[in-house]
Structure 1
Amino acid sequence: MMAFWTEPDFDEHELVQLVHDSASGLTAIIAIHSTHLGPGAGGTRFWHYDKPEGAMRDALRLSRGMSYKNAMAGLPMGGGKAVVLLGPGAEKTPELLAAFGDAVNALGGRYVTAEDVGATEADMVAISKRTPHVCGLPADDGSIGGDPGPFTAMGIYHGIRAAVAHKLGKDSVRGVHVAVQGCGSVGGGVARLLARDGATLTLSDIDAKRAKALATELGSQVVASDRVMGVTCDVFSPNALGAVLDEEGIARLDCQIVAGGANNQLARPEHGAQLAERGILYAPDYVINAGGIINVGLEYLCRQHGSPCDINEVRRRIAQIPERLEAIWRESEATGQSSDVVADAMARRLIGRG
Structure 2
Amino acid sequence: MNIWKAMKRDDLEQLVFCQDRESGLQAVIALHSTRLGPALGGCRMWAYPSEKEAVRDAIRLARAMSYKCAISGLPYGGGKAVIWSQPDTDRKAQALRMLGRFIEGLHGQYISGLDLGTSVADMDMIRMETSHVTDTSGSLGATNDFTAEMTAYGVMLGIQAALKQLDGSDRLAHRSITIQGLGKVGYFLCRYLSKAGAEITVCDIDPGRVKRVMEQFGARAAAVEHIYDTSCDVFAPCALGGILNSHTIPRLRCRVIAGAANNQLAAGRYGHMLHKLGILYAPDYVINAGGIIVTAAELNGDNAAMAKKQVEHIRHTLSLVFQYARLHRISSAVAADRLTRQRLGL
TM over 0.5, shorter chain: yes
Deviation at residue 120 of structure 1 after TM alignment: 1.4
Of stretches 311-320 and 195-204 in structure 1, the one that deviates more from structure 2 is: 311-320
Residue 247 of structure 2 aligns to a residue whose secondary structure is helix
Partner of 2:303: 310
Partner of 1:156: 155
Partner of 1:176: 175
Q: Deviations over 1:184-212 (max 9, x none)?
A: 11111111100011100011112122122
Deviation at residue 180 of structure 1 after TM alignment: 0.3
Alpha-carbon separation, structure 2, partners of 1:101 and 1:270: 38
Partner of 1:134: 133
Alpha-carbon separation, structure 1, partners of 2:98 and 2:165: 47
Please, which of 333, 342, 348 is the counterpart of residue 335 of structure 2? 342
1:52 and 2:51 are equivalent in the alignment? yes
Partner of 1:306: none
Percent identical across equivalent pairs?
A: 39
Deviation at residue 5 of structure 1 after TM alignment: 2.1
Partner of 2:293: 294
Q: Deviations over 1:197-244 (max 9, x none)?
A: 110001111212212222221111112222212211110000111010
Alpha-carbon separation, structure 2, partners of 1:224 and 1:20: 41
Partner of 1:27: 26
TM alignment of 1:201-216, pairs within 5 A = 201-216=200-215
Task: State the TM-score, normalizing by the size of structure 2.
Answer: 0.95
TM alignment of 1:69-148, pairs within 5 A = 69-86=68-85, 91=89, 93-139=92-138, 146=143, 147=145, 148=147
Partner of 1:239: 238
Contact 1:154–1:291, Cα closer than 8 Å, also in 2: yes
Alpha-carbon separation, structure 2, partners of 1:211 and 1:90: 31
Q: Deviations over 1:6-54 (max 9, x none)?
A: 2388422110111111111111111001000100101111111112222
Residue 149 of structure 1 aligns to a residue whose secondary structure is helix
Of stretches 226-235 and 61-70 in structure 1, the one that deviates more from structure 2 is: 226-235
In structure 2, the CA distance between the partners of 1:201 and 1:292, relative to structure 1 (3 Å rule), is same
Counterpart code for 2:254? C
Deviation at residue 312 of structure 1 after TM alignment: 2.5
Task: State the TM-score, normalizing by the size of structure 1.
Answer: 0.93
1:253 and 2:252 are equivalent in the alignment? yes
Contact 1:9–1:60, Cα closer than 8 Å, also in 2: no
Alpha-carbon separation, structure 2, partners of 1:278 and 1:26: 46
Partner of 1:43: 42
Gaps of 5+ in 2: none
Counterpart code for 1:324? T
1:322 and 2:315 are equivalent in the alignment? yes
Contact 1:162–1:322, Cα closer than 8 Å, also in 2: yes
Contact 2:260–2:287, Cα closer than 8 Å, also in 1: yes
Contact 1:9–1:57, Cα closer than 8 Å, also in 2: no
Gaps of 5+ in 1: 303-308
Counterpart code for 1:181? Q
Alpha-carbon separation, structure 2, partners of 1:230 and 1:118: 30
